[in-house]
Structure 1
């Protein structure tokens, strides 16, 4: 039996290696680059998926970790990774440039096409209910520390209103607005969220609004109920009430999506979610904004009808009020982002340590501003950062996935972040400045960690002078030109070396020999040498149409 198991492991590892060999010889083509995934074909309306929040926590804390251990294929690949004889499984939905095509999941924005300060501040759109008439309460959650209203304005638009808990004014509303704008610019589909100020007298009670009494029975909401709820909400000095307004998404809600598997009743859902680059790479972006509650419960599938009449599922990230330093109704604890709620990696050392085993995050930093909550950049580690519950896609994040997410984070300049943070309407200027500094520091840590693991050359373009690129580490001020050298070598179409290794001169581009035959594919392998950085190559393949006319057809990054 043991001998048979050994054979099985060897067979699985050989299969992993075979995938790498096949990938290395992948067909090169001058066909247009795939920048759109046609997953918007019309489908019949699928059923609503309801997710029990308690089961969601149990599933990700206990069931998923156990099934992961029993996955022989993944375990074998993991052993192969450690022994350096099998590659990590890469994302399934990337194009030949190692980028993510636009789809019902994702739209390329700020990294590929820079957004100005106005567009960054606008995000997916402003969520400002119409003030020409009353705001009719049609439903809500009126109990607990942070009540929520669902209102309909005079234009018949529906909004969800969320409020900050007492003692932590501006905390959750700022976090949700700022993170919404960041995630939108990063490329994700998110709701329109804005900080809004209104007067209590604008609210009216609709006939369908109900509350739950002390005995758990539902009854119609009364004005006394409304006044009781409003009394728990802190008011501004001028009597205004601050809230987050979230405009209801267009379409029919179908429930959540998981970060693993596929939705079987959606023919457009062809890629297992744990193998989608935009979900894997979200780990790097989420670590930056401390989006620790990024799980199925905080996603939403919408059945939409587009301008061409096509009906399909569009996938959204929602509920960003547990990001940055906010835990929705209170600040995060120091543990947030450093350990899972149930983290078997640390339980045994903590028990056996008898109190002597201390973790870096246990020396809590002070909360300087209640409106920011608990957010720090000193202990923060992009390598160690985790969500509250294991996220299957995040755990599949490879170096290439992490690099993709990190370069999106690094695309936000200091000025970009200042423009976004301003939309959070923090009343204390010093709190606003501190939040900007923390986002900058955490962004740079994310970039530094992932850029050191992958050769961070990007934004390639080619002309008659040769191949040009940007070194994102230098662009992001994570490295200097003085400490950097580039070496390159030409390759045949199948990746075999042609000619000597050369060091790039000060021209800033790699010249292409003018005697290369027309109608052939070639590659250029570039290595970036910096002390303390991984020695990884990036290969750029191109086609020669004629002298001086070239076309980039593929980019390969060494994992």
Structure 2
């Protein structure tokens, strides 16, 4: 059953309850069925075929969506200028996300796979990210001339080249900048691991240290630079890239990004749908994972979260023929190298990143009205002495719900309190040990930089949890422990967002009757439910004495079944 069918079922169920109000006093908004766990956009579909000539076959047939090209200048202008102006005259209230199931979560889909939000993630899995063992490079034992360069890096801020390794596949190698050595590659690996473990599809990112002699340059290569001019990628161009890269003991440090599987068909947009994908039916700006991604981006300072840093891939059922149907489109987040404090050449812009859009009409208007007298956050920004490679990435001036990316993102702009709280519940599962591990994954030369990075990641996360776990209920992981015992985990208590002594759990039925609660450890607690009767339906309200909002659990006791069935969860907004 897809999301639209499920919502229709809810409406029909609610209509039935209203029509039978004289016979049943308790509303039943949730049917007695499990939440939707898998989106139908993972099903294989057919798309029309077309002739798309290739170098090897002028009559090559492609049965996949066409590639979408996203010009950076147009995307920036559209979201900074044209879209805001259009919305002035539009009747388009930003409601709640539409791909949310009956447990206030999102299903596994072509966009998102529930990982740490539903099960424990170990340190080894955290570090692996999207890198399967077969994709890991053995830079220590690589033989001379075995890493074949078959393409120059076409564009982007980081210089690099593509390497083709027989039996491994293709990798894009990118060098760090001289201005912030080691930060871009560290950010790529740490950011990709964070995005992957949260649940997004990402590329496999790893840091490699290799001898220049392992490279073999294919003659006659060309590449297109940022200005669109085609140039030779020869030994001089290669030497220039290697000269920029950081070094350690005669070895070159670079970031290696494994090529994505399938047929690449261009980036996804943060609004609308892909018209040539039959599975793509929910407007992207109304998808919770894309909206809630704003909180993850704020944590990592991923201000460059825009459609050019994403990629759609057609995953054909026939792995030997990636251009064939049936298949489905998978959506990837790419390039987190601008996370953790990337800077522009213009310091005034670097200070504003995260605090103001590049073209921010709200800030322009406020400066005009106030004559620019009030001190703005970016005027207080300071680099941490000794940790300049992280630019202005810090904790003191970070305000989670005021964070902004480079220019408006349609999905981020529509994020609701529920979307932000959903992402915060997932992020709360990053323990201090896991955050320390993320920092170590950057393989930074200076231990002080690793310690500083862990401190900033933890500090920014604490601010996020304080903002988004203390309004709507942070209680999650509800499960039935026996026929009449409901248990849950208070994520705010587990992450110690407040003094543990502040948390005290209570429960009552919708009729006001209090229920016994047993406090366990590590934020866990259980509630004793009343005995069931045939066709019983109850609503249990749960509080933790810290968050303003309650969690409402809807439970059935269907005829012929012993014990309760958890049908749905709600987190009512308590207001300001």
Of the structure 1 ranges 239-248 and 194-203, higher mean CA displacement relative to structure 2 is found in: 194-203
CA–CA distance in structure 2, aligned partners of residues 181 and 551 of structure 1: 36
What does residue 387 of structure 1 align with? 405
Aligned counterpart for 2:91 among listed residues 72, 76, 85: 72
1:120 aligns with 2:126: yes
What does residue 252 of structure 1 align with? 263
1:500 aligns with 2:513: yes
1:175 aligns with 2:172: no
Q: What are structure 2's unaligned runs of at least 5 residues?
A: 1-10, 19-26, 48-63, 320-324
| Shift in CA distance, 453/350, structure 1 to aligned 2, threshold 3 Å | same
CA–CA distance in structure 2, aligned partners of residues 157 and 295 of structure 1: 27
Mapping 1:178-327, distance limit 5 Å: 178-211=190-223, 218=230, 220-236=232-248, 238-306=249-317, 310-327=326-343
Aligned counterpart for 1:520 among listed residues 531, 536, 547: 536
Say if 1:467 and 1:510, in contact at 8 Å, map to a contact too.
yes
Say if 2:175 and 2:242, in contact at 8 Å, map to a contact too.
no
Say if 2:155 and 2:225, in contact at 8 Å, map to a contact too.
no
Of the structure 1 ranges 368-377 and 428-437, higher mean CA displacement relative to structure 2 is found in: 368-377
Aligned counterpart for 1:407 among listed residues 425, 433, 436: 425
CA–CA distance in structure 1, aligned partners of residues 314 and 156 of structure 2: 31
Name the count of aligned residue pairs.
517
Distance apart, 1:464 and its partner CA: 3.4
Distance apart, 1:356 and its partner CA: 2.0
Aligned counterpart for 1:365 among listed residues 379, 382, 391: 382
Distance apart, 1:355 and its partner CA: 4.3
SS state at 1:394 partner: helix
CA–CA distance in structure 1, aligned partners of residues 257 and 111 of structure 2: 20
SS state at 1:169 partner: coil
| Deviations, residues 487-515 of structure 1 (Å, cap 9, x unaligned) | 43323xxxxxx24356856584222112x
SS state at 1:529 partner: coil
TM-score relative to the length of structure 2:
0.83
CA–CA distance in structure 1, aligned partners of residues 38 and 436 of structure 2: 32
Say if 1:129 and 1:159, in contact at 8 Å, map to a contact too.
no
TM-score relative to the length of structure 1:
0.86
SS state at 2:201 partner: coil
1:59 aligns with 2:89: no
1:99 aligns with 2:101: no
Distance apart, 1:459 and its partner CA: 1.1
Say if 2:28 and 2:537, in contact at 8 Å, map to a contact too.
no
Distance apart, 1:160 and its partner CA: 0.3
Distance apart, 1:69 and its partner CA: 2.1
SS state at 2:40 partner: coil
SS state at 1:482 partner: helix
Say if 2:420 and 2:468, in contact at 8 Å, map to a contact too.
yes
Q: What are structure 1's unaligned runs of at least 5 residues?
A: 1-17, 75-87, 492-497
What does residue 43 of structure 1 align with? 46
CA–CA distance in structure 1, aligned partners of residues 453 and 160 of structure 2: 26
1:417 aligns with 2:435: yes
CA RMSD between the two structures = 2.9
CA–CA distance in structure 2, aligned partners of residues 404 and 334 of structure 1: 29
What does residue 80 of structure 1 align with? none
| Shift in CA distance, 363/553, structure 1 to aligned 2, threshold 3 Å | same
What does residue 556 of structure 1 align with? 570
Say if 1:403 and 1:451, in contact at 8 Å, map to a contact too.
yes
CA–CA distance in structure 1, aligned partners of residues 492 and 173 of structure 2: 41
| Deviations, residues 106-138 of structure 1 (Å, cap 9, x unaligned) | 000012111110010011116544634522222
| Shift in CA distance, 180/327, structure 1 to aligned 2, threshold 3 Å | farther
CA–CA distance in structure 1, aligned partners of residues 120 and 410 of structure 2: 31
| Deviations, residues 394-416 of structure 1 (Å, cap 9, x unaligned) | 11111111111001111100111
| Deviations, residues 65-94 of structure 1 (Å, cap 9, x unaligned) | 1222222142xxxxxxxxxxxxx7221111
